Amino acid sequence: MNNVLTFPDRARAREEASLWLARLDGDLLSADEALQLRQWLAADSRHREALLQLLSVFSSSAILAGLPPTLVAPPDNGQYAMRQTRRGRAAALALSLSLACVAIIGWIGTPGASDPVVPAPAIASVAATTVYTTVVGEQRSWPLTDDSTLTLNTDSHVELVFDTRQRTVRLLQGEAYFAVAEDPTRPFVVFAGNGMVRAVGTEFSVRLAGDAVDVTVTEGEVAVATEPASSDVATLEQQRPAQLASREIRLRQGETVRYVRAIEPPAPLTPTEIARKLSWQQGFLVFEGQTLAEATAEIERYTDKRIVVAGEVASLRIGGYFKAGDIDATLRALESNFPVRVAREDDTLILLSARTDDTVPAM
């Protein structure tokens, strides 16, 4: 199996896509130009993605207006899934533009009488982008087309591009758990933050929090790599496999790692610790000695409300099981079991402070 880890050189793809967009916005392509465009699209899935993005910006141009309505109708093949969320309308618009671009690419790929035919395997390597999202407080799972399973935690957003060479996932927000179906011919690669995680058949979670990314493996093994601060993407892609492999960190079952730019040393986890980290999949938050400030930061992920911890109570260590997303029950439990006072300042702000007496509030 090829161990080369490649980072998407989107800048180069966008530059080439802009040249094709200019040609598409002019006169009709000749047979040779249409063949060149199809070959360029088939050469790398990033080419198609770059063209999709540019077409979404220039969606009102003559490129779309000059096409018959049947060419921009969404294809009915079940490959385009979009969750309606609070970002739903914007996401739906982006999807409709993507479908329009799919139709354009399909139109370009339809050979005419004098238009040479691109071999079918090359055309088949061009894959669509599928988007999955969850709203605040929601957890949801989806079966993927390769028999893998994707599970998203609260307020998460991923994009998938599966082609004949690689299964690519971009974690743009939140946290995801992957149960990956084994396919040695198509590595399963997750891009998150400043790095990537590669697997073949395994189960692992990836969480993006600001610039930091946490990876935890529950089954099998993954390779984690980050882009060195002294190297750009194009340079990294051109390096020999042995050089790039030397930068990988192998993460095995029961281990976790964090990276921003550099990768921290892997840390082992006990089965109990793993169960706590992944308890969100069962709809619970589990704390075992975390400070109230740390617990509150986690609880806040599951609500639209802002929670502020005031004073020395922030260092209070707590434990217990809490229902993810049920903010009222969580606050009642904190107030009943710990010396914590809960004050609702308004509809969006909750203040936690130390109680001045040992009286347990009436429920």
Instruction: Tell me the DSSP string of 2-65.
Output: --------HHHHHHHHHHHHHHHTSSPPPHHHHHHHHHHHHH-HHHHHHHHHHHHHTTTSHHHH
pLDDT at 81: 39
**How far apart are the C-alpha atoms of 118 and 35, rounded to whole Å?**
7
What dihedral angle (degrees, nearest 10) is formed by the CA atoms of 296, 216, 132, 234?
Answer: 120
**How far apart are the C-alpha atoms of 360 and 363, rounded to whole Å?**
9
pLDDT at 357: 66
CA neighbours within 13 Å on the CB side: how many for 33? 11
**3-class state of residue 233 by DSSP:** helix
Average pLDDT of span 174-193: 92
Residue 28 pLDDT more than 60? no
H helix or E strand, kind and range, residue 121: helix 120-124
**Confidence tier at 351 by pLDDT (50, 70, 90):** very high
| 140 neighbors 84 (Cβ within 8 angstroms) | no
Residue 96 pLDDT more than 70? no
Domain membership of residue 27 (yes or no) is yes
Domain co-membership, 77 together with 187: no
Number of domains making up the chain: 3
Domain co-membership, 60 together with 154: no
**Confidence tier at 141 by pLDDT (50, 70, 90):** very high
Cα distances (angstroms) measured from residue 137 to each of 37, 172, 309, 325 = 44, 17, 21, 5
Instruction: Give me the domain span that covers residue 333.
Output: 283-354
Q: 48: which 2 tokens?
A: 């198609």
| 91 neighbors 82 (Cβ within 8 angstroms) | yes
Average pLDDT of span 24-35: 62
Domain membership of residue 266 (yes or no) is yes
More confident residue, 74 or 341: 341
More confident residue, 70 or 246: 246
Q: Of 62, 97, 130, which residue constitutes the final position of a domain?
A: 130
Average pLDDT of span 77-85: 37
pLDDT at 30: 66
Residue 156 pLDDT more than 70? yes
The total of other beta-carbon atoms located within 10 Å of residue 173's CB is 16
Residue 126 pLDDT more than 70? no
Residue with tokens 């099981």: 321
More confident residue, 310 or 67: 310
Domain co-membership, 2 together with 57: yes
Domain co-membership, 294 together with 343: yes
pLDDT at 261: 82
Average pLDDT of span 325-350: 89
Domain co-membership, 288 together with 266: no
Residue 327 belongs to domain with CATH number? 3.55.50.30
Domain membership of residue 361 (yes or no) is no
Task: Kindly provide the b/e burial profile for residues 176-187, where b requires at least 16 CB atoms within 10 angstroms of the residue's own CB.
Answer: bbbbbbeeeebb
Residue 148 pLDDT more than 60? yes
More confident residue, 119 or 129: 129
Domain co-membership, 180 together with 304: no
Q: Of 95, 110, 130, which residue constitutes the final position of a domain?
A: 130
Domain co-membership, 191 together with 151: yes
Domain co-membership, 311 together with 245: no
Domain co-membership, 314 together with 228: no
**Confidence tier at 44 by pLDDT (50, 70, 90):** confident
Q: Of 219, 251, 271, which residue constitutes the final position of a domain?
A: 271
Domain co-membership, 287 together with 256: no
Domain membership of residue 363 (yes or no) is no
More confident residue, 357 or 125: 357
Domain co-membership, 64 together with 157: no
Given the DSSP bridges, would you call strands 149-152 and 140-143 parallel, antiparallel or unpaired?
antiparallel
Average pLDDT of span 291-301: 93
Round the average pLDDT of the chain to a whole number and report it: 74
| 193 neighbors 211 (Cβ within 8 angstroms) | yes
Question: If you write DSSP's letter for every residue of 277-329 in order, what string do you get?
Answer: HTGGGGTEEEEEEEEHHHHHHHHGGG-SSEEEE-GGGGG-EEEEEEETT-HHH
Domain membership of residue 171 (yes or no) is yes
Domain co-membership, 113 together with 139: no
